[in-house]
Homo-oligomer: A and B are copies of this chain.
Amino acid sequence: MKLQLQIKMNEALYLRDPQSSDLGKNILRHSVQIIYKIGFESFTFKKLAEDIGTTEAGIYRYFENKHKLLVYLTAWYWSWLEFQIRFHTNNIKDPTVKLKRVIDLLAKALEDDEQTSSINEKLLHQIIIAEGSKAYLTKQVSKDNKQQFFKPYKDLCALIGNIILECSPNYKYPKSLASTIIEMAHFQNFFMNNLPSLTDFGQTKEESEIILFLNDLVFANLYKS
């Protein structure tokens, strides 16, 4: 049995569904590779078209502009990660164990094991670290938010917030702590690799150290005397 996990995306994110055709899947696959390689600023639809072997106008039939494509990729990532978290914490009763598992999944780059789709999750994880915040750090954030573009991120945050409340029902800031964990899992990784003196992991550059830091940070708060 080989099943394909298909993530249902917000239709306002695209003009034509990229998961519905070969060209569309190529756009997703190649854009992940190019953004990973040259960064979002230098990434253009022309370069993407040349890489795929189609024309610029061809890409524009799928995505209005490169910002929408980035929002699509990040939304896809958060949806996929929420699924991973639900899958890997399924049947775990102890909320502490569950929350530890969540931190692991946030901070570790999961293998691109199953050929889920046209998207390489390992590269996408790196893109989210370096470019993810650019999806919402814009002047259109409220307009985009009204169109529910960030729903997957908010759902993930709510899920983690609820696990936090299971651990400590009286904790006052479950959602802020959840968004802090998510952001810091990524920012500490970026800092560790690029601006190491902003972290305490500059020597080893080990993901496992970020996990220890986040565990320490979170559980000191939830189980304080």
Contact = CB atoms under 8 A, between A and B. Distances in A.
Number of identical protomers: 2
A198 interface: yes
Interface stretch (A48-56, A98-106, A116-124, A185-193): A185-193
Interface in A154-176: 154, 157-158, 172-176
A141 B225 contact: no
A180 B172 contact: no
Most buried by B among A145, A153, A176: A176
A199 B175 contact: yes
A178 to B, nearest CB: 8
A93 interface: no
A131 interface: yes
Interface residues on A, range: 35 or more
Nearest to A137: B130
Interface in A180-222: 180, 183-184, 187-188, 190-191, 194-195, 197-201, 213, 216-217, 220-221
5 contacts: A172-B213, A176-B198, A176-B200, A178-B198, A179-B198
A221 B38 CA distance: 39
